[in-house]
Amino acid sequence: MSNSSRMRDIFRSKTSRALDRIEDPREMLDDSYDQQVKLLQQVRQALAEVATAKKRIDLQGQELGARYQRLAAQAQEALDGGREDLARAALERRALIERQVANLQQQYLGMQRQTEQLQDRERQLSEQVAAFRIEKEAIKATYSASEAQVRANEAVAGLGTSMHDVGTSLERARDRVAQMQARAQATDEMLASGALKDLTAPADADIERQLAAMQAKSDIDRQLEAMKGTGASAAGGAGRPGGAEDAGEWLSIGQGPTGS
């Protein structure tokens, strides 16, 4: 496989893995869940803001209610003291406060309805988010199990990018080993034929090697002639009469016959 082909395979593999991550349903489910949680938080924040404004209106209403009661007492006290004009002024202020209280009451009731609506939305959304989370985790677990099964099946079948890379590396290693073995055999043959010279060998080593081969052949021929003439076993391999063996007899192997 050429380098350009390997680079294309690597780029294609990385691109495929990137697309798989983008299209991973687990990540999409997590993103959807995060969006729902953020929306739920916004609803709860709005509910807290409405509750704060409602409480502020309630405090204003309580303050105006206290003034309303106090002005009634003051008008009665002024009237009892013969100050009808002062009693009229207190009643006029009391009427103004009454209109302000009526306005606050409308605002308070509107916020009360808004609070109830937000509470209902918050409750529904909380249930939806909880149900979605359970279903999300179930789908993610199923997808992860299926993904693991696919990878295991691909590994068993020898498919997939990683197994393909392993097979390619193994094939290249086998080719390199075969090439190196052929090269070693070729250099051995060339050394044996003299086409290559062993620079580390002593001078005239080639002549000595050929002479040693001639001597070995001559020894074999001589042993064959001796065996044909006497019917004895191979030179240097006969035992002593009676089957007794000398413990140091092996030291004489290759030293020629001990007696003529």
Q: Which pLDDT score, from 0 to 100, does residue 258 have?
A: 46
- The predicted pLDDT at position 130 comes to 92
Q: Can you give the residue ranges of every domain in the chain? A: 16-157, 166-196, 201-231
pLDDT at 184: 80
Question: What is the rounded distance in angstroms from the CA atom of residue 225 to the CA atom of residue 235?
Answer: 11
| Angstrom distance (rounded) from CA 26 to CA 48 | 33
Q: Other CB atoms closer than 10 Å to residue 176's CB: what's the count?
A: 10
Give how far Cα 207 sits from Cα of 157, 195, 202, 212, Å. 59, 14, 11, 9
pLDDT of residue 154: 72
Round to whole Å and give the CA distance between 13 and 46: 48
Burial 70-87 (b: 16+ CB within 10 A, else e): ebeebbeebeeeeeeeeb
The tens digit of pLDDT for each residue in 124-140 reads 999 999 999 999 899 88
Query: Looking at residue 13, what is its pLDDT?
Result: 53
Cβ neighbours for 6, distance < 8 A, ≥ 6 positions apart: 168
pTM more than 0.75:
no
The pLDDT value recorded for residue 249 is: 60
Give pLDDT, residue 206.
64
The pLDDT of residue 242 is 47
* pLDDT the model gives residue 244: 45
What stretches in the chain show pLDDT beneath 50? Answer: 19, 233-244, 258-260
Q: Which pLDDT score is estimated for 126?
A: 92
User: In the prediction, which pLDDT does 49 show?
Assistant: 92
